[in-house]
Structure 1
Amino acid sequence: MTPLFAEFIGTTLLVLLGNGVVANVLLNKTKGQNSGLIVIAFGWAMAVFIAAFSVAAYSGAHLNPAVTLALALCNKFAWSGVFGYICAQMAGGMVGAFLVWFIYRKHFEDTECGDTKLAVFCTGPAIRSMSGNLASEVIATFVLVFAILHMVSPQVSLGAMDALPVGLVVLGIGVSLGGTTGYAMNPARDLAPRIMHSILPIAAKRDSDWSYSWIPVVGSLTGGALAASLHLVLAL
């Protein structure tokens, strides 16, 4: 498996399982309907673990443009590979979102609320405040990437289970910081599925909320860059 294909497969798995748990909780007549934020947070944590576990040996399992950018800023990843990784991640995010829609398409048809359908694909704020929402995404992604940067070369290796701590970090962020914006922290997890929401033939869907779409992208990339900057300062 090439690194680019691994990033594509890994991000596909990430979004398939992560957005899949959101669909299971939010859409009508699913087995997990109304099971709540804890189930979503745990499902996303497991999505990160499974995706990273599957492809880490081939690509390092970035699965997130914010992580790729941060690793490049820290000189832990070649700048020449950044564009290709991000393209593979975005493509994987789109395919993962398509598969979620395909699996749950009958439940999308049975669900009337356009906001609920959009929430399966991408994040949105509980209270719309662009500055506050941006700050939430910056801080959440900073926590994620700062933790990951200290896991790149762990002093105590868990072998094949090295992906587990990242999943636990995502779980912690979800239950602690996920109540404001839904903790996107990843353009491939938010923008790529949002694009799919806009083009898929989803019955009675609303618009894709493009006026908000820049928040998860700018917030996550900024949070990742700040985490990398602090990591570099601490390494001096």
Structure 2
Amino acid sequence: MSLGIVFLSEVMGTMMLTLLGCGVVANVALKGSKGLAGGTLMVNWGWGLAVMAGVFVAAKSGAHLNPAVTVGILSSGADEYAPNVAVSFASTLTYFGAEMVGAFIGAVVCWLAYKQHFDAEPVAANKLGVFSTGPAIRSYGWNVVTEIVGTFVLVFIILHFGGGVAGLGPLPVALLVVGIGASLGGPTGYAINPARDLGPRIAHALLPIKGKGSSDWSYAWVPVVGPLIGGALGGLMTQWMPDLLAAAA
């Protein structure tokens, strides 16, 4: 498979994920929306279904949709990122670039869909919350730990039981994301995906959003570094599991 097809597949899948994921937050958070105050579980389910939609769209490229998943596959020792897509420096950069571009575009389209509600919303933090995550209690070290744990769960389960996102299947991945959000999403809003957070945060900074306030760049490294570490650990643990099980037998 050509890297051009991989790029387009990941861009479209990640765009759909981010459009629908940011969209459910906008529906719950922005003034005048019919979903206003829908609650955390609505957001959890919305993000889970957003992931499912993205996995369907990007199935051809393995539906990584997330640099942490790409890093997890890399650290697991796999030879391929998807059928007929060899692990290499060029393919790794292709996945990273596509995921970032797709996440940015999805956030921009979400803003267009909710433009009037962004204009009507008086609280800048609610607007930023549509685009990116933030901590309930700001403690950078512990916030990183939370993101590591959540992303480890995501990547380890995907790789250990399914051999990849597309291998596990769109619905199980969706339910896994819902479960992570419901169980581990409270402290940081569970980015568990560097592109999902950084791409929309860049969009927030660049778009002409009325009264948008700060993009909170002092926190922006947490949902990048934490998920990358968690993804790498998930991949490594997948690689080590056969030896650990053999040693315990």
Instruction: Answer yes or no: same fold by TM over 0.5.
Output: yes
Q: 1:161, CA displacement in angstroms?
A: 8.6
State whether residues 18 and 43 of structure 1, in contact with CA within 8 Å, keep that contact through their aligned partners in structure 2.
Answer: yes
Q: 1:24, CA displacement in angstroms?
A: 0.3
Correspondence 1:86-165 to 2 at 5 A: 86-153=96-163, 162-165=169-172
Partner of 2:195: 188
Which of 9, 13, 24 is the equivalent residue of 1:10? 13
Structure 1 unaligned residues grouped into runs of 5+: none
State whether residues 158 and 168 of structure 2, in contact with CA within 8 Å, keep that contact through their aligned partners in structure 1.
Answer: no
Inter-partner Cα distance in structure 1 for 2:169 and 2:198 = 28
Identical columns (%): 48
Question: Which of structure 1's runs of 4+ aligned residues deviate more than 4 A?
Answer: none
Inter-partner Cα distance in structure 1 for 2:206 and 2:163 = 41
Inter-partner Cα distance in structure 1 for 2:156 and 2:70 = 13
2:210 alignment partner, SS class: coil
Q: Deviations over 1:60-95 (max 9, x none)?
A: 000000000110122323033111110000000000
Inter-partner Cα distance in structure 1 for 2:114 and 2:36 = 12
Q: Deviations over 1:166-196 (max 9, x none)?
A: 1111000011111110000001100000000
Structure 2 unaligned residues grouped into runs of 5+: 82-86, 244-249
State whether residues 49 and 166 of structure 1, in contact with CA within 8 Å, keep that contact through their aligned partners in structure 2.
Answer: yes
How many aligned positions are there? 231
State whether residues 77 and 239 of structure 2, in contact with CA within 8 Å, keep that contact through their aligned partners in structure 1.
Answer: no
Give the structure-1-normalised TM-score: 0.94
Does the C-alpha gap of structure 1 residues 160 and 211 become closer, same or farther in structure 2, counting only changes over 3 Å? closer
Partner of 2:247: none
1:35 alignment partner, SS class: coil
Range that drifts further, 144-153 or 187-196: 144-153
Partner of 2:210: 203
Q: 1:152, CA displacement in angstroms?
A: 3.4
State whether residues 4 and 88 of structure 1, in contact with CA within 8 Å, keep that contact through their aligned partners in structure 2.
Answer: yes
Write the letter of the residue equivalent to 1:222.
I
Give the structure-2-normalised TM-score: 0.90
Does the C-alpha gap of structure 1 residues 161 and 181 become closer, same or farther in structure 2, counting only changes over 3 Å? closer
Q: Does 1:79 align with 2:54?
A: no
Q: Does 1:33 align with 2:36?
A: yes
Which of 16, 20, 23 is the equivalent residue of 1:20? 23
